[in-house]
Amino acid sequence: MNFANPSPEDICKLLREVHSVAVVGLSPNTARPSFRVAQALQSFGHRIIPVRPLVTEVLGEKAYPDLESLPELPDIVDVFRAPEHVPAIVDSCIELGIKRLWLQDGVVHEEAALRAQQAGIIVVMDRCMFRDHTQLCNP
Protein backbone atom coordinates (compact mmCIF):
# COMPACT_ATOMS: atom_id res chain seq x y z
CA MET A 1 0.00 0.00 0.00
CA ASN A 2 1.36 3.40 -0.94
CA PHE A 3 0.93 6.56 1.07
CA ALA A 4 -1.26 9.29 -0.42
CA ASN A 5 -1.77 12.79 0.91
CA PRO A 6 -5.28 14.13 1.45
CA SER A 7 -6.80 16.06 -1.46
CA PRO A 8 -6.02 19.81 -1.73
CA GLU A 9 -9.58 20.52 -0.55
CA ASP A 10 -9.14 18.30 2.51
CA ILE A 11 -5.74 19.89 3.28
CA CYS A 12 -7.32 23.36 3.22
CA LYS A 13 -10.18 22.15 5.46
CA LEU A 14 -7.61 20.70 7.89
CA LEU A 15 -5.64 23.96 7.96
CA ARG A 16 -8.81 25.92 8.72
CA GLU A 17 -9.76 23.57 11.56
CA VAL A 18 -6.48 23.60 13.46
CA HIS A 19 -5.57 26.30 15.96
CA SER A 20 -2.68 24.96 18.03
CA VAL A 21 0.40 23.69 16.18
CA ALA A 22 3.16 21.80 17.97
CA VAL A 23 6.25 22.45 15.83
CA VAL A 24 8.74 19.63 16.41
CA GLY A 25 12.24 20.86 15.66
CA LEU A 26 11.37 24.56 15.75
CA SER A 27 14.64 26.46 15.64
CA PRO A 28 15.18 29.79 17.39
CA ASN A 29 17.43 30.72 14.42
CA THR A 30 15.47 33.25 12.33
CA ALA A 31 17.17 32.03 9.14
CA ARG A 32 15.84 28.47 9.47
CA PRO A 33 12.74 27.37 7.55
CA SER A 34 11.09 26.08 10.75
CA PHE A 35 11.28 29.56 12.30
CA ARG A 36 9.93 31.30 9.20
CA VAL A 37 7.07 28.83 8.73
CA ALA A 38 6.08 28.97 12.41
CA GLN A 39 6.21 32.78 12.36
CA ALA A 40 3.93 32.83 9.31
CA LEU A 41 1.52 30.39 10.95
CA GLN A 42 1.41 32.69 13.98
CA SER A 43 0.52 35.58 11.67
CA PHE A 44 -2.41 33.47 10.36
CA GLY A 45 -3.69 33.18 13.93
CA HIS A 46 -2.35 29.74 14.87
CA ARG A 47 -0.92 29.19 18.34
CA ILE A 48 2.60 27.83 18.01
CA ILE A 49 3.96 25.36 20.57
CA PRO A 50 7.72 24.90 20.13
CA VAL A 51 8.97 21.34 20.70
CA ARG A 52 12.75 21.29 20.91
CA PRO A 53 15.07 20.14 23.70
CA LEU A 54 17.48 22.66 25.24
CA VAL A 55 15.41 25.67 24.13
CA THR A 56 13.23 27.58 26.58
CA GLU A 57 11.28 29.84 24.22
CA VAL A 58 10.75 30.50 20.51
CA LEU A 59 8.53 33.18 18.98
CA GLY A 60 7.39 34.26 22.44
CA GLU A 61 6.08 30.79 23.30
CA LYS A 62 7.38 28.40 25.97
CA ALA A 63 9.25 25.47 24.42
CA TYR A 64 8.94 21.83 25.49
CA PRO A 65 11.52 19.05 25.08
CA ASP A 66 9.09 16.52 23.55
CA LEU A 67 5.43 15.90 22.78
CA GLU A 68 4.97 14.01 26.04
CA SER A 69 5.87 17.20 27.99
CA LEU A 70 3.12 19.35 26.45
CA PRO A 71 0.52 20.60 28.95
CA GLU A 72 -2.28 19.92 26.42
CA LEU A 73 -2.69 18.11 23.13
CA PRO A 74 -2.12 20.24 20.03
CA ASP A 75 -4.55 20.21 17.11
CA ILE A 76 -1.67 19.16 14.84
CA VAL A 77 2.00 18.24 15.03
CA ASP A 78 4.21 19.88 12.36
CA VAL A 79 7.55 18.11 11.94
CA PHE A 80 10.86 19.74 10.97
CA ARG A 81 13.10 16.77 11.78
CA ALA A 82 15.06 14.33 9.65
CA PRO A 83 13.03 11.36 8.36
CA GLU A 84 14.74 8.87 10.70
CA HIS A 85 13.05 10.63 13.65
CA VAL A 86 9.53 10.25 12.23
CA PRO A 87 8.77 6.72 13.56
CA ALA A 88 9.33 7.86 17.17
CA ILE A 89 7.20 10.97 16.59
CA VAL A 90 4.43 8.78 15.15
CA ASP A 91 4.69 6.53 18.23
CA SER A 92 4.23 9.59 20.46
CA CYS A 93 1.25 10.84 18.43
CA ILE A 94 -0.43 7.43 18.64
CA GLU A 95 0.22 7.06 22.39
CA LEU A 96 -0.98 10.60 23.16
CA GLY A 97 -4.03 10.49 20.89
CA ILE A 98 -2.93 13.30 18.57
CA LYS A 99 -5.14 13.15 15.47
CA ARG A 100 -3.22 15.20 12.86
CA LEU A 101 0.40 15.02 11.71
CA TRP A 102 2.18 17.19 9.15
CA LEU A 103 5.60 16.25 7.78
CA GLN A 104 7.24 19.26 6.13
CA ASP A 105 8.98 19.36 2.73
CA GLY A 106 11.67 16.67 2.58
CA VAL A 107 10.43 14.85 5.69
CA VAL A 108 9.41 11.55 4.11
CA HIS A 109 8.94 8.26 5.92
CA GLU A 110 6.26 6.27 4.11
CA GLU A 111 6.17 3.33 6.52
CA ALA A 112 5.66 5.58 9.57
CA ALA A 113 3.09 7.71 7.72
CA LEU A 114 1.08 4.61 6.80
CA ARG A 115 1.27 3.36 10.40
CA ALA A 116 -0.04 6.73 11.59
CA GLN A 117 -2.90 6.60 9.09
CA GLN A 118 -3.77 3.06 10.20
CA ALA A 119 -3.99 4.42 13.76
CA GLY A 120 -6.56 7.00 12.61
CA ILE A 121 -4.23 9.98 12.28
CA ILE A 122 -4.65 12.36 9.34
CA VAL A 123 -1.19 12.66 7.77
CA VAL A 124 0.18 15.17 5.29
CA MET A 125 3.72 14.35 4.13
CA ASP A 126 6.40 16.21 2.16
CA ARG A 127 4.44 19.45 1.96
CA CYS A 128 4.89 22.90 3.49
CA MET A 129 2.13 23.98 5.86
CA PHE A 130 2.77 27.68 5.16
CA ARG A 131 2.81 27.24 1.38
CA ASP A 132 -0.34 25.11 1.39
CA HIS A 133 -2.08 27.59 3.69
CA THR A 134 -1.22 30.39 1.27
CA GLN A 135 -1.85 28.58 -2.01
CA LEU A 136 -4.80 26.31 -1.16
CA CYS A 137 -6.74 28.38 1.37
CA ASN A 138 -6.15 31.93 0.11
CA PRO A 139 -6.23 31.70 -3.68
**Full strand arrangement of the beta sheet holding 100-103:** 47-51, 20-24, 76-79, 100-103, 122-125
Gap between the Cα atoms of 112 and 96, Å rounded: 16
User: Which domains are assigned to the chain?
Assistant: 8-137 (3.40.50.720)
What pLDDT sits at residue 93?
98
- pTM: predicted TM-score of the whole model, two decimal places: 0.96
Please report, in tens digits, the pLDDT of each residue of the chain (139 residues total). 689 999 999 999 999 999 999 999 999 999 999 999 999 999 999 999 999 999 999 999 999 999 999 999 999 999 999 999 999 999 999 999 999 999 999 999 999 999 999 999 999 999 999 999 999 987 5
User: Could you give the angle at the alpha carbon of 128 between the alpha carbons of 75 and 123, nearest 5°?
Assistant: 50
CA dist 99 → 40, 92, 94, 96, 138 (Å): 23, 11, 8, 9, 24
Instruction: Write the DSSP symbol of residue 85.
Output: G
Q: List beta partners, residue 48.
A: 21
Gap between the Cα atoms of 126 and 11, Å rounded: 13
Gap between the Cα atoms of 14 and 76, Å rounded: 9
Helices (DSSP H) in the chain: which residue ranges?
8-17, 33-43, 86-96, 110-118, 129-137
